[in-house]
């Protein structure tokens, strides 16, 4: 069977666990050679690389803290050197800090902006210098960009809302080259950071139109679609995959 991303080259930031790891494996399954970044989990990164290689593609892991601008740029450059180009960038790395307004630490604010917004711009800018016409840039946002139903999440929601404006604006820069840029906006997804069991999870399930958590593989499926040839006319969009959380 033909694979929709055969011989494409993809970089996924924050690809050693959760949604990022699922994206790495799905793009590899579709035939893409994959690079992933990780911050502090080399063992998990190696496991994801091994899983991708088992699917018959090339894979590498690159240590890079997304809060470090130089590290983000270097990850893009290394991917290009190792694989000979770059076709797909998935800006997945993100952080979540939740606290009451009066207690929210400024250093948490700054790191949220650095990882969730600045790193996306830096990686996108660096990748665009190497992408040929028809490249794909996909940001992992959040349904909280449009709905934050509990206190303490304002800074996180702000960071994900910023990606909506960024994608819309950069779609104009990149459109003449046939490069698309879109956001995927998950709702509650079963990961280590946000497990589907517990009091907090039960509260979120009650908000959803579909009273369950999503899976990382479901998010990866939407990313694979946006990375593929059938999504060539989709750009500047923020696509919900949230079980009706924002409905």
Q: What is the pLDDT of residue 192?
A: 87
In this model, does residue 2 exceed pLDDT 90? no
Residues 6 or more apart from 99 whose CB is under 8 A from it?
Answer: 105, 108, 152
The mean pLDDT of 55-63, rounded to a whole number, is 98
Mode of pairing for the β-strands spanning 238-241 and 136-140: unpaired
Q: Which of 156, 213, 225, 233 is catalytic?
A: 156
Half-sphere exposure of 122 (CA within 13 A, CB side): 23
Q: What is the pLDDT of residue 193?
A: 83
In this model, does residue 46 exceed pLDDT 90? yes
Report the predicted TM-score, pTM, of the whole model to 2 decimal places: 0.97
Write the pLDDT tens digit of every residue in 146-183. 999 999 999 999 999 999 999 999 999 999 999 999 99
Write the pLDDT tens digit of every residue in 73-115. 999 999 999 999 999 999 999 999 999 999 999 999 999 999 9
Of 52, 20, 22, 58, whose CA–CA distance to 37 is shortest?
20
In this model, does residue 7 exceed pLDDT 80? yes
In this model, does residue 1 exceed pLDDT 90? no
Write the pLDDT tens digit of every residue in 194-217. 899 999 999 999 999 999 999 999
Is 225 tagged catalytic? no
State which fold the 9-239 domain adopts: Rossmann fold (3.40.50)
């Amino acid at each position: 069977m033909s694979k929709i991303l055969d011989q494409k080259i993809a970089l996924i930031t924050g690809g050693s666990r959760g949604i990022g790891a699922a994206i790495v494996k799905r793009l590899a399954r579709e035939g893409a050679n994959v690079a992933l970044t990780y911050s502090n989990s080399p063992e998990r990164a190696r496991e994801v690389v091994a899983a991708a290689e088992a699917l018959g593609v090339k894979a590498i892991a690159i240590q890079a803290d997304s809060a470090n601008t130089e590290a983000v740029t270097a990850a893009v450059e290394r991917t290009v050197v190792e694989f000979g180009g770059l076709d797909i960038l998935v800006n997945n790395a993100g952080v979540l800090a939740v606290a009451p307004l009066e207690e929210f630490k400024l250093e948490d604010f700054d790191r949220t902006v650095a990882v969730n917004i600045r790193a996306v711009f830096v990686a996108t800018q660096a990748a665009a210098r190497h992408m040929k016409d028809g490249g794909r840039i996909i940001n992992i946002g959040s349904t909280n960009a449009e709905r934050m139903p509990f206190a303490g999440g304002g800074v996180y929601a702000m960071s994900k809302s910023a990606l909506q404006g960024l994608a819309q604006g950069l779609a104009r820069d990149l459109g003449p080259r046939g490069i698309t840029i879109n956001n995927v906006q998950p709702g509650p997804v079963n990961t280590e950071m946000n497990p589907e069991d517990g009091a907090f999870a039960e509260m979120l399930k009650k908000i959803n139109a579909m009273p369950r958590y999503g899976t990382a593989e479901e998010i990866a499926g939407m990313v694979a679609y946006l990375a593929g040839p059938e999504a060539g006319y989709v750009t500047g969009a923020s696509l919900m995959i949230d079980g009706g959380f924002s409905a």
